[in-house]
Structure 1
Amino acid sequence: MGKFLLWAIIILAVLFVSRILSHQKAQARRAADRRQNAASRDAAESMVRCAHCQIYLPRSEAYMSQGKTWCCAEHAKLGLKQ
């Protein structure tokens, strides 16, 4: 009976320690995800408007010509919409 009780205590202790360690890992993972999400929110790209069709698009995708932004080369050729 004594050996059974000893093994039960050892098994329960191992399970308890493993649960604590997995909980700490999960907390660290959540904290890292929060930091990464905050960094990606801060790095949001600005939007610009096409001078011809007035749609908004990311600045990295826009064409710059004659001091204005355009959504495509065709609209840059057409110029301002009348």
Structure 2
Amino acid sequence: MGKLLFWIVLIILVLFVARIAGRIAADRQAGAKAADGKKPGRGAPPPPKTLESMVRCAHCGIHLPRSEALLQNGQTWCSADHARLGPAKH
């Protein structure tokens, strides 16, 4: 029973070391590609996202990015239907 347990632990240890070695090799290869100006590897940070101002729909009040809003008569709308319906009456 002791020998069986020894071999199981040894096999798991060998697989674990092989997995770590594979990750190190992949990181080195990705680092070499990043130095050549190609796609960044797993460890590289993502490019920064640009911030966009949010606007409020004059009809329903939902906030959406300015690039997705519809601007008519000095007011912003989330859709053409809401622009047609006009401002909400509270």
Q: Which interval holds the TM-score relative to the shorter structure?
A: 0.5 to 0.7
Which residue is equivalent to 1:75?
Answer: 82
TM-score (norm 2): 0.50
Runs of 4+ that moved beyond 3 A = 18-23
**Higher RCO (C-alpha 8 Å, min separation 6):** 1
- Whole-angstrom distance in 2 between the partners of 1:23 and 1:71: 45
Report how many residues are paired: 60
Q: How does 1:13-32 map to 2 (within 5 A)?
A: 21-26=25-30, 29-32=41-44
SS in 1 for 2:42: helix
Structure 2 CA distance for partners of 1:71 and 1:23, relative to 1, 3 Å? closer
- Whole-angstrom distance in 2 between the partners of 1:65 and 1:22: 53
Structure 1 gap segments, 5+ residues each:
1-17
- How far 1:64 moved relative to its partner? 0.2
Q: Between the two proteins, what is the percent identity of the paired residues?
A: 50
Structure 2 CA distance for partners of 1:44 and 1:25, relative to 1, 3 Å? farther
- Whole-angstrom distance in 2 between the partners of 1:22 and 1:74: 52
- Whole-angstrom distance in 2 between the partners of 1:58 and 1:25: 39
Q: Deviations over 1:33-82 (max 9, x none)?
A: x0xx242x2x1333211011000122222110111100111211222111
Structure 2 gap segments, 5+ residues each:
1-20, 35-40
SS in 2 for 1:53: coil
